[in-house]
Amino acid sequence: MVRNSLFALLTLTAAGGDLREARGTDAAVRENELKAAYLFNFVKFVDWPASAADEALTVCFIGGKGVYDALADGIEAKRVGTRHLAMRVLEKTTSVQGCNVLYVEAAVEPDPSRVANVAELPILTISDTKDFALNGGMIAMFTESNRLRFSINVGNAQKAGLRISSSLLQLAASVERGGRS
C-alpha cells in the first residue's frame, strides 16, 4: 500500500500537479482537487505517536471549503492504514481537540496563535501559505511555475511527536530541519 501511495504522490508531484486549466476544468476546482489529493497522500506518510492513535484520522479545516469538498468526495472509501478519515470544519473559537490534521487556508486569517498553540500537539499542520513551514507549520503547499509544490519542516513535526517518512521528504521542494523557537 505504501508503494502505491508513494507512486500516486510522485505522479501528482511530477506530472499531475500542473495547475493550468485542463480539458475545460475550472482552474480553481482543479487546484482544490490537487490540494485535497496532496493532503490525503501526506497523511499516509506520517506516523503519529501511539497516544494519538484512534479509530478515525480526523482532518480539521480552518477555511479551505473547496479542499474540504474535494476531500469529502468519496471519503467513505478513503482509509489511511486501518483508520478511516473523518473531517471537521473549525470555527474561530472551536477547539482543535480530536484533530489529527489541521489544514489552514491562506485566504483565511486565523488567529496566529492558533497554529502556535498546536505546535507541540500531535497534529499535522498543513497550509497553502508558502512560508507556513518556516513560521511554525509543518507542510506548506505553494504554486511555482503553474505546479503545486510543497515544503516540509521536519523540526516542527518532530517537536509535535510526528514522524514524516523519508519517501515524502524526498518529494518536497525543500525540507527545513529546524523547528520554530
Query: Could you tell me if residue 110 is inside a domain?
Result: yes
Strands (E) located in the chain:
46-47, 56-62, 79-80, 83-89, 101-104, 124-127, 139-144, 147-153, 163-164, 174-176
CA 170 vs. chain centroid, Å, equals 16
Flag whether 84 is in a domain.
Answer: yes
Mean per-residue pLDDT of the chain: 83
Q: Are 133 and 155 in contact (CB under 8 A)?
A: no
Asked whether residue 41 is domain-assigned, the answer is yes
Question: Does the structure show a pLDDT above 50 at 23?
Answer: no
Position 131 in a domain: yes
Tens-place pLDDT, residues 113-159: 667 778 889 999 999 988 888 888 999 999 998 899 999 999 999 99
Entry pTM: 0.84
Whether 75 is covered by a domain: the verdict is yes
Q: How far is CA 170 from CA 13, 14, 51, 92, 141, in A?
A: 11, 12, 27, 35, 15
- Answer whether residue 9 is part of any domain: yes
Q: Provide the number of structural domains found in the chain.
A: 1
Q: Report if residue 181 sits inside a domain.
A: no
Query: What sign for the dihedral angle of Cα 67, 110, 169, 19?
Result: positive
Domain that holds residue 150: 2-176
**Is 112 inside any structural domain?**
yes
What's the CATH code of the domain at 109?
Answer: 3.40.50
81-108 pLDDT tens trace = 888 999 999 987 788 999 999 999 988 8
